[in-house]
Amino acid sequence: MKIQLKKFTPLPLRRQMMVLLMIMAVTMAGIMAFSMFSYYKLQYQSLKTNQDEKVNQVLHEVEYNYTYFSKLTTSLAYNELVQSYLIEKNQESKFDYVQRVSNLLINTQNQEPSIIDIAVIGDNGNFSNVAGDSSITSRLLKELPRDQHDVFFFDRQNYFIHSLNTVCIVAGRLIYPLDLSNATPCGAVFIAIDPSRFLGGSYSLDSTDQKMIFLDQSQNLLLGDEEIYQAYLNKRSGDSVITYSNTEYTYESHGIPDTGYELISIIPKGALFQKLIKTVGSQYFITLVIFIIVCTFLIYFISRFFNTIAELTGIMNKITSGNRRALKERIHLDEKSYVCLEAQTIGNAFNQMLDEVDTLNRDIFNTCTKMYETEIYAKKTELAFLRSQINPHFLYNTLALICGMSTEGRSDDIINISQALAQILRYSIKGNEFVTFREELEIVKSYLMIQSTRFEGRFTIEYSISDEIMDACIPKMILQPLVENSIVHGLEKLLEPGHLQIGGMHDSSNDTLIIWVYDTGEGISVQRLSQIRESLNRPKTMPSSMEESLFVDSPGEESESLGLLNVNSRIRLYYGEPYHLIIESKEHIETNIQIRIPFQLQRKE
């Protein structure tokens, strides 16, 4: 007898995918249910073990620090120099001792970064410390128990270091004379310690799973989060749970031997449950990723052939219909796709053609745009920089001059110098690029007034300026750098009085404004003059790196001509290559710097 099996009806692909996903979900759920219980037990034991280990490590470090500072206070208390100073009554001897004791305390502090202050004080009033207030030390001496022979740790102390309130731990020890016949203390030594270093400085007191706070004998907060401390104080008596930031925490109290301090270890009550949720969440995330990968592959293998053909024909139809945006689209073909070789060849060639057209168009457009923007930006940036430069040495020397006059009580001179300096600074940040010659000359006179006061008759000043040019339009801050150059690099170096002449005239033959600055200073050597002229006459080009060229100060003699080069560059930027500075000089005799620019009563843009 044959058994007839019912013919299996094939399911649609969509239903097959759903069945596969359901089987996977059931399998993953069983695995997660089994592992959740095992993980919960493991995590509970791990969290408890980690808590105990961290508390023990912190307590061990505090014990080590206690031993260290106990030995340190003992070493200082029975130091012969400290003993001699505390019982010394002679004033002259005390002065010698206090310097040596101070050096001893400072050297001791430098050896241990956790020390805020060290102080020794005697019953007779002899006192020395590093940084604290003597009144605090006197109060601590009164509070130090007289029957305490070991180191004593005080409650939380507010120490004032350089007028700043600093919370610290203070360790104190009575100092007994080395003379065993006298059992009365002669003073005490105190060490102010940074709580963050003394109380487990190598470990984090605040983590996701565990938090710690330290309290002194009076339940004052020594170290830790202030909000947790307030929540601990506000807990109900006998309750082992505190509430902080809408979260319940369980805490354990641990006494710190020998100090009287207390360590409170706090753990979120739901920490273990939160870890479990995170673990389950990660497992669900893995399940979701697997589900997405499976779905993606299924859809990909079924529909990739039709998608490839549809994509190819769709883009081609868009291009043939005149849609220019279609030039940005590409045909995505895979060598392993189920398409014919011809379709792949056509698609790849078509993509390469579109890429090349798009690249060429973008390069041409970007090149033209960048060339134009670079040229405009370079001129604006360089003009703004050259116009805004103020010699920092001039500011420093002027402020030094004002300081010197203030010590002599020359208030009127200080007012005049300050007003002149303020006028120069206001003028330098003035927004206008062009001013009248009259305005520029007023700033130069303010500058010369400051320099004349500073050098006190080292040079004389002469003005040879025709009235016709007073309202002529010139670039701002173009004359002052030349005058400054003549004084700093010419007249200032003279051992005898020199002469400075500032002149200007209108050359009507070619409608040119001529301005010159002449001095009888040190002059310029032939070789150096040739180098400067070569730099001034060199065609103006855009620096390869604008930032580097603007902010690197040239060393040596090159920095002396920086002001001249800036003025020359601005003249060329404003009026073109034919206009530049003209320099004539004889070493140790004279120097004449001349500006020739178009004569304009109003700036022509």
CB 223 within 8 A of CB 209: no
Annotate 347-401 with DSSP letters as a single string. Answer: HHHHHHHHHHHHHHHHHHHHHHHHHHHHHHHHHHHHHHHHHH---HHHHHHHHHH
Positions of CATH 3.30.565.10 in the chain: 392-538+560-598
The CATH superfamily holding the domain 392-538+560-598 is Histidine kinase-like ATPase, C-terminal domain (3.30.565.10)
The arithmetic mean of pLDDT across residues 455-481, rounded, is 90
Identify which has the larger pLDDT, 105 or 201.
Answer: 105
DSSP characters over 191-221:
EEE-HHHHTTTTS-SB-SS-EEEEE-TTS-E
pLDDT band at 550 (very low <50, low <70, confident <90, very high): very low
> Where exactly does CATH 3.30.450.20 map onto the chain?
13-280
Q: Is a pLDDT exceeding 90 seen at residue 126?
A: no
Residue 163 pLDDT > 70, yes or no? no
Over the stretch 68-108, which tens digit does the pLDDT of each residue have?
Answer: 888 999 888 888 888 888 888 887 788 888 888 889 888 98
Which 8-state DSSP code applies to residue 538? S
Angle at CA of residue 483, ends 482 and 488, nearest 5°: 100
| C-alpha to C-alpha distance for 256 and 199, rounded to whole angstroms | 10
**Fold classification of 13-280 (topology level):** Beta-Lactamase (3.30.450)
Report yes or no on whether pTM surpasses 0.85. Answer: no
